[in-house]
Amino acid sequence: MSKLPAILVALGLATTAGSASATVSGDPENGKGVANLCVACHQADGSGKHIEGGESWPRLAGLNASYLAKQLHDIKDGSRASPSMMPFVNMLDDQKIADVAAYYSQLEPTSGEGGNNADEALLKRGEQLAERGDWSQYVVSCKSCHGPGNQGAGDVFPGIAGQHAGYIEAQLKAWKEGTRKNDPQDLMGSIARRMSDADIHAVAVWLANQNTASN
Ligand code: HEC
Ligand code: HEC
């Protein structure tokens, strides 16, 4: 601690670190402290929880930091409605949002829950939607945006492989019903509205069984 700043000055990094930038950069160390507010639901390892028949808590561990920060801002300004999250995001300023997003993004991703005991036909249908899409319904594959293995692509398309089935299903239904509409250009809404509830369930269960990747 006492030595570090001198090294940064010597390397010319101390000045750039303090200069104004368009986005607030997050410090995972500070974010760890902020995450004390979140462990009751998202768990100490960021794994969240699949809650059968209830509101699942999404896994945050290993998700892209910019994506997480965007969601926190959207929930705070009301463009993504979440009564469960609202009281907690209201305690966070821009710096704390950046810090806690940086913290969760560097945690080791954990496995998706809620995909056990699914029958073969359901999994096959889920795989088709995720990997190849279904042109008879005008549904493109999830991986065409969410990246190879549906493990995420850049800051905009979050990893959905290894997310909890209950959370994935709830999000797709929220887009279908128009209660979540914070996606750019209605990209998710236009897909979810073309999916039956059975297909939403199938793809959620299949994705929960897939491997995650860290960003
Ligand atoms: C009372 C339980 C609870 C607490 C405490 C909580 N969350 Fe959440 N969180 C949820 C639920 C439930 C959702 C899903 C909301 C929805 O369905 O839109 C969520 C969603 C999120 C998302 C969106 C994830 C995604 O993949 O889009 C982020 C990011 C998040 N929470 C971060 C936090 C942070 C950071 C804290 C602590 C400051 C926190 N949460 C505290 C329950 C909680
Ligand atoms: C045309 C591009 C596109 C396609 C195809 C697509 N998505 Fe998405 N998806 C997005 C974008 C963009 C977001 C981020 C929305 C935001 O910023 O809130 C997203 C977010 C999500 C989320 C929320 C993740 C989270 O952590 O909250 C889920 C779940 C999801 N998509 C599931 C699917 C499934 C399942 C499919 C295939 C049936 C699919 N998506 C196909 C663009 C796409």
Quickly name the fold that domain 4-37+63-105 has: Cytochrome Bc1 Complex; Chain D, domain 2 (1.10.760)
Q: Are 44 and 108 in contact (CB under 8 A)?
A: no
Residue 12 has pLDDT above 60, yes or no: no
**Which pLDDT score is estimated for 197?**
98
**Which pLDDT score is estimated for 181?**
94
CA distance 207 to 215: 18
**Ligand 1 in contact with 24 (CB < 6 A)?**
no
Does the domain made of 120-208 have the CATH classification 1.10.760.10? yes
42 annotated to a ligand binding site = yes
Name the residue of 60, 134, 145, 179 to mutate for ligand 2: max ligand atoms within 8 A of Cβ: 145
SS3 90: coil
Least confident among 21-25, 66-70, 111-115, 161-165: 21-25
CA distance 24 to 38: 21
3-state helix, strand, coil in the chain (%, to 5): 50, 5, 45
The number of residues making up the chain comes to 215
Domain with CATH 1.10.760.10 in the chain: 120-208
Q: What is the pLDDT of residues 99-155, one digit of tens each?
A: 999 999 999 999 999 999 899 999 999 999 999 999 999 999 999 999 999 999 999
The pTM of the full predicted model, rounded to 2 decimals, is 0.92
Assign 213 a pLDDT band (cuts: 50, 70, 90): confident
**Ligand 2 in contact with 166 (CB < 6 A)?**
no
Assign 73 a pLDDT band (cuts: 50, 70, 90): very high
The CA-CA-CA angle for residues 165, 71, 102, to 5°, reads 95
Q: What mean pLDDT, rounded, does the chain reach?
A: 90
